[in-house]
Amino acid sequence: MSTRSPKQALFAEFATLAKALGHAHRLELLEQLAQGERSVETLAQKTSLSIANASQHLRHMRRTGLVDTRRDGKFVYYRLADEAVLDLLAALGRLAERNVAEVERIMRRYFKDRDGLEPVPRDALLERIRAGTVTVLDVRPQDEFALGHLPSAVNIPLKAMEARLSELDPSREVVAYCRGRFCVLSFEAAALLRSRGFKARCLEDGLPEWRAAGLPVVAGSS
C-alpha cells in the first residue's frame, strides 16, 4: 500500500485551502471581513446574499482556517483568522492582473482610464496627515468607518457625496480611500470631486492594507 510523502500531504492541504477561495462570493465576504469583525446577518446584507448562503460560505472558509468566529448570544461573529489572509488576497490580485487578460482589461477600462493620476503611497499620505496638509476622505459606509479608519479621516459615504461637498475645503487636496485596491468607491469619489473642481487622488489601496502595514488606525464613528 502506497503512502503519501510529507510533501504530497502538504500540497494536498494547500490545495484544500486554495479551493476554499474558489468562489467570488467568498472573496467578497473576505473583503468585508478585512474591514473588521461582522455578524453573519451583516455580511449577508453587505454582499446581497441570503443568510443561509452566506453562512454556508463562511463555514467552509472556517473549516479551512481562513476565518474564525465568536458567539454572542444568538449571533455569530466572523473575523479573519490571520492577517496573512490579506497577503494571500493581494498576491491573488497581482497575479490575476498580470496574467489574466480579462482582469487586465477590466483594470484598464474601469480603473486606469477613469483615474489616470498616480495613486498616493501609504507612507507619503501618513507624512501629509501628520503635517496637516491633506483631507483624508473615507467613502465607505458609516458602519465600516466606525470599525476602523485612517487618522483624521472624514467619512462621507459615496452615496452622500453630492449633498455634502460643502463639508470639504476646496483649497486642500483630497485623498480618498475605501475597502481595498479593487474597491470602486474611492475611484468614483475622486472622479466626482475632480468634476467639481477639487484636486483629488486615491490612496494606493485601502484600510486593510494600511492596517496590515502597521500604520495607525482609529476606531469609532467620530
Confidence of residue 107 (pLDDT cuts 50, 70, 90): confident
| Short-list 181, 9, 189, CA closest to 91 | 181
Distance between CA atoms of 190 and 197, rounded to whole angstroms? 11
Query: What is the residue whose three cell numbers read 494536498?
Result: 12
CB 20 within 8 A of CB 67: no
Confidence of residue 157 (pLDDT cuts 50, 70, 90): very high
Distance between CA atoms of 186 and 43, rounded to whole angstroms? 21
Q: What's residue 220's pLDDT?
A: 80
Confidence of residue 184 (pLDDT cuts 50, 70, 90): confident
Does the pLDDT at position 114 exceed 90? no
CA 115 to mean position of chain CA atoms: 18
Q: What's residue 181's pLDDT?
A: 84
Q: What is the pTM of this model?
A: 0.86
Does the pLDDT at position 3 exceed 70? yes
Catalytic residues, which ones? 178
Distance between CA atoms of 45 and 120, rounded to whole angstroms? 31
Cα R_g (the chain), whole angstroms = 19
Q: What's residue 59's pLDDT?
A: 96
Extract the C-alpha cell encoding 92: 491573488
Backbone φ and ψ for 200, nearest 5 degrees, come out as: -135, 140
